Amino acid sequence: MVTRTVIQGAAIATVDGAGTEYVDGHLVVEGGRITAVGSGPSPLGPRDTVVDGRGCLATPGLVNTHHHLYQWATRGYAQQSSLFNWLVELYPVWAGLDEDITRAAATAGLLRLAQTGCTTAADHHYVFPVDGGDLLGATVDAASAVGLRLHAVRGSMDRGISHGGLPPDSLVETTDGALAGTQAAIDRWHDPAPDSATRVAVGPCSPFSVSPELMSGAAELGRAAGVRLHTHLAETLDEEVQCLAEYGCTPVEYAERTGWLGPDVWLAHGVHLSDAGIAALAAGRTGVAHCPTSNARLGAGVARVADLLAAGVPVGLGADGAASNEDGGLGGELRQATYLARLQGGADALDVRQALWLGTLGGALCLGRADDLGSLEPGKLADVALWDLTGVAHAGIADPVAALVLGALPPLRLLLVGGRAVVADGRPAHVDEEAAARDLAAASTRLAAAAGLIRW
């Protein structure tokens, strides 16, 4: 007999199409899915597991639409560099990545995401050193151990310095090799089932590290395989200058030429977009992963999120790699997105419920999973964050959504993925947090030593 989990007495922000909220509500989970959500208490059965939600806010689990988990081993580098200089400094360090380092970095990064409310993470891994081992497999293993859903974006670069690209030639693949590696990842790990724990997407890195042949070939491969497409685009002005010089067009126009606009595509950053660029994304229903902290850390600019939303572009939130966002959590991006939007467009540019939508249903739309994730509705997967608002940091804030978005990030009383506890009372349920921290520290030290660097 399947037991039920019943959350009682919580404030609930469902993030459904009507924006339904309950001041004192219940949420029932059975068989990995939500079976009921509503006001007041739920009738209980003798086998029910009851969670006391008083003083808490229940929201959908947060969806991270862009990350580079391997970068958890290289936090704190290039502290005052813009993107291109930051990459040039870090590429030689990433050349020392191996399977063990990647697993340690991914485990720590996913733990941090889980403890900040994230239940689904898209990880863009595009660095594959020769003899590095099974790096993508290490990330898949880490997600399974922590208990999060993973969208493993099989990245690639085939354009090194000798061909006008930014990365060193030693870190790029051949075009055919990149396509073959991408197909192999899809064959091995992609699970299209509605409740799948692992999906694979096609992810050539960026216009300045990938040839037009790989961009077009990857789009064709992904569509033939029925998987989604993801790449960086319009992150910096440097990228736009290079694109105009080499291809005579903007990054969005280049994406359109190479088959990278459409409802199966989501793009990382989208900071420097013209009105015409936003219109092109909206026409194709192309999604954008907004990474506010990373964009601020690198001085890249502020994405036009309010304009993107007004145009009907699907927009989700991304933590981005921890080498450009040392916090590495997702919950804090709700506030960052709100604040940056208001700095750009005024105090009414983005409200707290729009920010929560970005982190939940907006992200699910970008990843093609809005039918099953992103809101708390009967029939959807039971990916639920229960935020504890009982502490002094949130006392007196009458609106629980405002407490979550504008206040300090609350601790989690519970995080469920498919009804299974991944975080309970702020602690990970399946992985030893202290051991993960030690493994990460050792991996970071070993990676720095391989690059001939001296760490503090």
Residue 127 in contact with residue 173, Cβ under 8 Å? no
- Compute the C-alpha angle 84/126/430, nearest 5°: 115
At 396 the pLDDT is 96
Confirm whether 371 is domain-assigned: no
User: Are residues 343 and 387 part of one domain?
Assistant: no
pLDDT level of residue 1 (50, 70, 90 thresholds):
low
Catalogue the long-range contacts made by 336-342 (C-beta closer than 8 Å, 24 or more residues apart): 336/292, 336/293, 336/296, 337/290, 337/292, 337/305, 338/405, 338/406, 339/292, 340/292, 340/295, 340/296, 340/302, 340/303, 340/305, 341/302, 341/305, 341/306
Q: What is the mean pLDDT of the chain?
A: 97
Is residue 139 over pLDDT 90?
yes
Q: Report pLDDT for 237.
A: 95
Average pLDDT estimate for 324-332: 97
CA distance 280 to 256: 9
Cα separation of 433 and 199, whole Å? 26
Compute the residue count for the chain. 456
The band of 453, judged by pLDDT with boundaries at 50, 70 and 90, is confident
pLDDT digits (tens, 9 = 90+) for 158-209: 999 999 999 999 999 999 999 999 999 999 999 999 999 999 999 999 988 9
**Residues 348 and 201 placed together within one structural domain of the fold:** yes
Picking from 366, 401, 416, the residue at the C-terminal end of a domain is 366
The whole-number pLDDT of residue 135 equals 98
The pLDDT tens digits for 76-117 are: 999 999 999 999 999 999 999 999 999 999 999 999 999 999
Amino acid present at 149: R
* Same domain? 117 vs 252: yes
Same domain, 172 and 315: yes
Per the structure, the complete domain to which residue 178 belongs is given by 62-366
- Domain of 102: which CATH number? 3.20.20.140
In total, how many domains does the chain have?
A: 2
pLDDT in tens, 255-268: 999 999 999 999 99
Residue 45 has pLDDT above 70, yes or no: yes
Lowest mean pLDDT among 60-69, 157-166, 227-236, 270-279: 157-166
> Does the residue 454 lie in any domain?
no
Pair 288, 362 in one domain:
yes
Q: Are residues 297 and 158 in the same domain?
A: yes
What is residue 259's predicted lDDT score, i.e. its pLDDT?
98
Do both 272 and 188 map to the same domain?
yes
* Range 15-26 average pLDDT: 98
Could you tell me if residue 451 is inside a domain?
no
Residues 46 and 143 in one domain: no
- Tens digit of each residue's pLDDT (9 = 90 or more) over 405-443: 999 999 999 999 999 999 999 999 999 999 999 999 999
| Among candidate residues 345, 366, 387, the one where a domain is terminated | 366
Q: What is the pLDDT of residue 179?
A: 98
Contact partners, residue 76, CB within 8 Å, separation at least 6: 326
Q: CA-CA distance, 188 to 200, in Å (whole number)?
A: 9
- Which tokens hold the place of 90? 């870090």
Percentage above 70 pLDDT, the chain: 99
Q: Give 3's pLDDT tier (boundaries 50, 70, 90).
A: confident
Cα–Cα distance for residue pair 26/378, rounded to 1 Å: 12
Per DSSP bridges, beta strands 229-233 and 33-39 are unpaired
In a domain, 209, yes or no: yes
Q: Answer yes or no: is 445 within a domain.
A: no
Q: What pTM was estimated for this model as a whole?
A: 0.98
Q: Is the pLDDT of residue 315 over 70?
A: yes
Task: Answer yes or no: do 235 and 264 share one domain.
Answer: yes
For 330-354, write each residue's pLDDT tens digit. Answer: 999 999 999 999 999 999 999 999 9
Q: Amino acid identity, residue 440?
A: L
Give yes or no: residues 274 and 349 share one domain. yes
Q: Half-sphere exposure of residue 297, counting CA atoms within 13 Å on the CB side?
A: 23
Q: Answer whether residue 411 is part of any domain.
A: yes
Residue 60 — very low, low, confident or very high, per pLDDT cuts 50/70/90? very high
pLDDT at 105: 98
pLDDT of residue 392: 97
Q: Would 398 be classed as within a structural domain?
A: yes
Pair 440, 432: CB distance under 8 Å: no
- Do 333 and 383 share a structural domain? no
Report the C-alpha gap between 394 and 367 in whole angstroms.
32
Which of 126, 132, 228 has its CA nearest to residue 186? 228
Query: In this structure, what CATH number is given to the domain that contains residue 13?
Result: 2.30.40.10
pLDDT at 456 > cutoff 70:
no
Q: Which residues are CB-neighbours of 387 under 8 A, at least 6 positions away? A: 56, 57, 58, 59, 117, 400, 404, 410, 411, 412, 413
Residue 157 lies in a domain: yes
Indicate whether 178 and 249 sit together in one domain: yes
The pLDDT score that the predictor gives to residue 455 is 62
